[in-house]
């Protein structure tokens, strides 16, 4: 599967195997072996190929996390983390998260627990903020949305 994904991304970019190989410091023969799945590219090689082809590394290994985790991964990336998903088997994966030279790897159950902790934290933060909002002095807007000052000056 990885081989076909690399080949399709390379062709979409309009590159030959030789050009892609040269761009990542390898031979065209090495690219051919990856595409024919005679060899498995390393994580570093996948990242180099992805960068040259302007695709996400996960797109080259054909592994997509269940939809419920995609938004969490997008959130992590928005915080500046690099996130790499590694397929362990047909039904399991691990996730590597990197930031500022620190790398943490999570097996599937650990990653799911991380997402749950984040959800709990986020919900907790929203609850605390909503309680703070209740303690703030009332604004000049009434419950029905009209401006108190203008109502006071209105002649009925």
Residue with tokens 């029905």: 144
- Shared domain for 84 and 144, answered yes or no, is yes
Residue 83 phi/psi, 5-degree rounding, is: -125, 125
129, 140 in Cβ contact below 8 A? no
Residues 85 and 43 in one domain: no
Count structural domains, the chain.
2
- CB-neighbour burial class of residue 108 (10 A; exposed 0-12, middle 13-18, buried 19+): middle
Q: Within this chain, do residues 71 and 139 fall inside the same structural domain, yes or no?
A: yes
Residue 11 and residue 68 share a domain:
no
CA 9-97-24 angle, to 5 degrees, is 35
Full residue range of the structural domain in which residue 101 is found:
64-156
pLDDT tens digit at each of 156 positions of the chain: 688 889 999 999 999 999 999 999 999 999 999 999 899 888 889 989 999 999 888 778 765 554 457 778 878 888 888 888 876 665 677 889 999 989 999 998 898 888 888 877 876 677 667 777 776 555 544 444 444 444 443 344
**H or E segment to which residue 45 belongs:** helix 43-53
51 shares its domain with 70: no
User: Do residues 105 and 96 lie in contact, with contact meaning Cβ atoms separated by under 8 Å?
Assistant: yes
Answer yes or no: do 69 and 83 share one domain: yes
Domain check: are 11 and 24 in the same one? yes
Residues 70 and 135 occupy one common structural domain: yes
User: Same domain for 96 and 150?
Assistant: yes
CATH number at residue 25: 1.10.260.40
* b/e 21-46 (16+ beta carbons within 10 angstroms → b): bebbebeeebbbbbbeeeeebeeebb
Residues 37 and 79 in one domain: no
Distance, in Å, from the CA atom of 28 to the CA atom of 36, rounded to the nearest integer, reads 12
Handedness of CA 63, 36, 50, 40 (dihedral sign): positive
83 close to 95: Cβ distance less than 8 angstroms: yes
Q: What is the pTM of this model?
A: 0.46
């Amino acid at each position: 599967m990885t081989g076909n994904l690399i080949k399709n991304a390379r062709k979409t970019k309009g590159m030959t195997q030789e050009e892609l190989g040269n761009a990542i410091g390898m031979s065209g023969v090495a690219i051919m072996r990856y595409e024919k799945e005679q060899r498995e590219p390393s994580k570093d090689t996948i990242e180099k190929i992805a960068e040259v082809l302007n695709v996400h590394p996960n797109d080259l290994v054909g592994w997509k996390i269940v939809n419920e985790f995609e938004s969490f991964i997008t959130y992590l990336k928005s915080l500046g983390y690099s996130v790499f998903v590694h397929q362990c088997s047909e039904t399991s994966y691990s996730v590597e998260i990197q930031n500022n030279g620190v790398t943490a790897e999570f097996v599937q159950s650990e990653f799911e627990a991380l997402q749950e902790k984040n959800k709990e934290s986020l919900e907790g933060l929203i609850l605390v903020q909503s309680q703070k909002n209740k303690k703030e002095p009332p604004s000049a807007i009434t419950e029905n949305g009209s401006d108190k000052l203008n109502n006071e000056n209105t002649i009925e």
